[in-house]
Structures are given as C-alpha cells and as structure tokens.
Amino acid sequence: MEGHLILRLLLAGIFGAIIGFERKSKRKEAGLRTHFLVAVGSALIMIISKYAFNDILSEQGIALDPSRIAAQVVSGIGFLGVGTIIIQRHSVRGLTTAAGLWTTSGIGLAVGAGMYLLGLVATILVLLGLEVLTKFLQIFLPKYVQMAVDLSDKAVIGQIISALSEREIEVSLCESKIPLKEHGDVQLVLKLNALVPRGYDTNKLLEEVQLMAGVCAVRFI
C-alpha cells in the first residue's frame, strides 16, 4: 500500500518539475523547485485526505469529511501565487506563473488521488499552453514591450513618440523621471509601454531608438 502511495508522490514531483523547468528556463519568479514542492505537497495532502482517516471513519457515531483537507489546497495555493505577482505602476507580471502554480497543485491532487493519466494529460496541456500558445501569440499578435530611454534633452520626447508612431508602434503608456544620480548627459529617463507590430524585430527597434537625436541609451525592462 505504501509503495503505491510513494509512486504517486514521485509522479507528482516529476510532473511538477517538468512544468517548473519550463518556467525556470523563462527566468520566471517560481521555478523548478517551487513547482516540484507544490505538486508533491498537493499529492501528499490528497493521499492523507483519502487514506489517513479510514480507521476513524470505520467507527460508529463518527462522521467526518476528509475531502475538506484536499479542498483547502485549492484556496491555500492562492497565497503562494500572490507572491509571484509583481505590480509595477500600470503593469502586472507573474499572473501566468501564479496560474501555473495553481494548476500544478491540481495536478498533484489528481496524481495523489490515483488519477495518473489525468495528471499526465494536464501536464501536457500546461506545457502546450505555456509554449505553443506563446509562439502563436508572437507570430500572429503584436508584441508588448517595455523600454527605458535615457535622454539628454527633454524636448525630444514628442519626437520619439512620433517616430515610433510612424513605424506603426503604439505607445500605450509613457512616464518620465529625473535620475536620482547624475550619469553623464542623462537628464531624464523615459519609460515606454509599446505594442510592436508582428514580425517587427525588437532588436532593430532598440537600434533605431538609440540613433534618435537626444537618446543616450535604450534598453528593454
């Protein structure tokens, strides 16, 4: 009996590690170890929920609902997911990683319940969603980028935005700040959120912005 349960933990860990490896390769907030632990922990809780109270439930006059323990994983994993979400001004990062953790916990619960095929299929679907859909979005939809542009002249902001518009690049958010420390000729740091047309080389975009008048340096953030 215990050997069968250990197999469930191992499989859950493998499935979680596979998803975590994909996230780690993208340098996301939660990587291989986090997803591995979430999957193993969820499987363990499901196993406890299913089998740990059999001796008590067999006694007369005792009515328990062990499934409540496993149910708490679904809501409890939300607190871990919050830790991966980063809110910076008007942008939010980490939602996909948080959703991945939540789904990984579900995979762990499924494997812990003995639903191996369901856990395997869910793992494959998660990988397809993270990899294939990402490629699809890159090919068929505009790409969202964030840039920081160091300027030596505040007056060129309008010229930069106009130049980007001429390239069919839509600037959705623009903010500027004075650098805390003096750095050469930099008088202002301009932060841009932009939608780049599909097929447009983002490295070429950096080079083009770098050559604009009044630009000291440009980088993706």
Q: Model pTM? A: 0.67
pLDDT in tens, 43-94: 999 998 888 777 676 667 667 777 788 888 878 887 777 777 766 555 667 7
Class of domain 143-220: alpha beta
CA geometry: angle 211, 213, 219, nearest 5 deg: 50
Going 106 to 111 to 114 to 115, the CA torsion angle's sign is: positive
Q: Give the start-to-end residue ranges of the domains of the chain.
A: 2-139, 143-220
CA 99/CA 82 separation, integer angstroms: 10
Q: Which residues lie below 8 Å from residue 210, measured CB to CB, with a gap of 6+?
A: 217, 218
pLDDT digits (tens, 9 = 90+) for 173-188: 677 777 655 556 677 8
